[in-house]
Amino acid sequence: MSVAIDRVLGESWKRMVVVCFKPFTLGKWLTLAFCAWLGSLSFNLLGQVNQLRTWYNLRAIFHPGARGGGPFGPPTAVPPISPPTAPMVPVPPGPPPVTPVPPGPGQVPGQPVAFTPWSSPSSPTSAPQEMVEKALMWLQNHVALVVTLAIVGLLVMGVVSMVLAWIRARGRFLFLDALVHNRGAVVEPWQRLRPLGNSLFKFEILWASLVLPAYLLVLVLVLGIVWPDVVHLVKVWPDRSALHWTGTLTAGVAVGGVLCLLLTLVNIITLALLHEFVEPIMYASGQRVGPAWGLFFKQVLPGHFWWIVLYFLLQLALGMVAGMAGLVLTCLTCCVFACVTAIPLLGTYIAIAATLPLVVYLRALSVYMLEALAPQFTIFPPNEPPPLPTAGAFPVPLPLPTGDEQPGELSPDDAAAPPEPPAAPGPEAPFRGA
């Protein structure tokens, strides 16, 4: 079965124009951005730390401090450069002169100096080694506190992640419903789409509970392969000269890399199919996530595998275009857009609101692609209303009787027609007596 990709792209563009600009109101725009933002919430500790670090670095560029001001602060005065008072002396060619280093304690003059990762010829014990030793000593003296803080931190991260995942599952259907009805609403669809959102949330939690232990099993397997090298590393640390790359390290890195790559691909493909196709199937059929997966494998995937691959390649290209658009906005605003969008959580909402037409287009693209693969899952109304009949058009002929009707039996067309009103009574005849 062939799929008209040009029609999918065109209808997605028309839907984006209808949703974003017909009609255009600021409240509707911000509400749509809020629904899309709810559908993208997640707790990524490393991502939040990177956002904070990026925001701090970008802020420091424009901060009128020691770095010399910027567009938001007065420039720092630059001292004038005085001319040289003495003539320049040419440097003779050849190697630079070497200043002899006096031997340290315990070293014999004339013997080579042994270097370690934490030593230098001037100081036997450097600052990094002292910091590491102090940190290890503090950890050994406060094992109970460290374990307690680690457990509490993991529990807090788990609870926050689950709450955000629950909100994200509900928000994805909020945004899809807003595109279907061309409105910005939160309260009513939040209640109506509760069963679908809760079903999606349960599946994501179940899938995460399967993926994370799989990564842990890969880690345990790799540690089992390279365990002799780990024991050797602990014994000779920090003497780097005693470390050698062995065949077991090569095998461990190869096995761990291949297994992690496979797990990552399976995770990415599963979540992509879930968000791009299974969610619209759930919305169109009203089914939970399990039956929706069944409908996808029975009615959508057969005969359309390469079309789905082509669709994801198209999504990858559009993602690159979106990244270039963000880079252009960053350049046009002199990094102000990057500073604002780097703020955790709030920056994501601002970025979605600034690029809402692109977000709407990408969501509509998956829905129209599903409609092209399986028309029974159509959820969007027509982007253009059907044309009204023009005046003077040729009248539609009425169906003629076939002659097969029995006496006293009405044809289907006559039975469907409304009964005729009774005729008005005529003048009464004069009464004549016998």
Q: Does residue 189 contact residue 174 with C-beta atoms inside 8 Å?
A: yes
Q: Which pLDDT value is given to residue 344?
A: 77
Cβ neighbors of 360 (< 8 A, separation 6 or more) are 15, 16, 19, 20, 32, 179
Q: Is the pLDDT of residue 236 over 80?
A: no
The pLDDT score that the predictor gives to residue 101 is 53
pTM of the prediction? 0.66
At 242-288, the pLDDT tens digits run: 667 777 888 888 999 999 999 999 999 999 999 999 999 999 999 99
Instruction: List pLDDT tens digits, range 147-194.
Output: 899 899 989 988 998 999 999 999 999 999 999 999 888 999 999 999
CB 75 within 8 A of CB 383: no
For the ranges 202-211, 247-256, 319-328, 387-396, the maximum mean pLDDT occurs at 202-211
Tell me: pLDDT of 72 over 70: no
3 state SS of 202? helix
Within a 10 A sphere around the Cβ of 94, how many other Cβ atoms?
6
pLDDT in tens, 278-328: 999 999 999 999 999 999 999 999 989 999 999 999 988 988 888 887 788
* C-alpha dihedral sign at 216, 219, 225, 229: negative
**How many beta carbons lie within 10 A of that of residue 380, not counting itself?**
21
Q: So what's the pLDDT on residue 94?
A: 59
Categorize the per-residue pLDDT at 385 as very low, low, confident or very high, splitting at 50, 70 and 90.
low
| Burial of residue 156 (number of CB atoms within 10 Å: 0-12, 13-18, 19+) | exposed
Of 43 and 220, the structure prediction assigns the larger pLDDT to: 220
pLDDT for the residue 108: 55
Give the mean pLDDT of the chain: 76
Residue 74 pLDDT greater than 50, yes or no: no
pLDDT band, residue 238 (cuts 50/70/90)? low
Query: Sign of the CA dihedral 157, 162, 166, 171?
Result: positive
Residue 21 has pLDDT above 70, yes or no: yes
Structure token pair of residue 338: 């990057």
Q: Please, where are the H alpha helices in 182-193?
A: 187-192
Given a cut of 50, whether residue 64 has pLDDT beyond it is no
Residue 125 has pLDDT above 60, yes or no: no
**Where is 329: in which H helix or E strand?**
helix 305-332
Stronger pLDDT, 351 or 172, i.e. the higher one:
172
Query: Residue 33 pLDDT more than 50?
Result: yes
- For residue 317, give the nearest of 365, 281, 271 by alpha carbon: 365
In residues, how long is the chain? Answer: 434
CA 344, 350, 353, 359 dihedral sign is negative
% of the chain residues with pLDDT over 90: 38
Which pLDDT belongs to residue 402?
Answer: 55
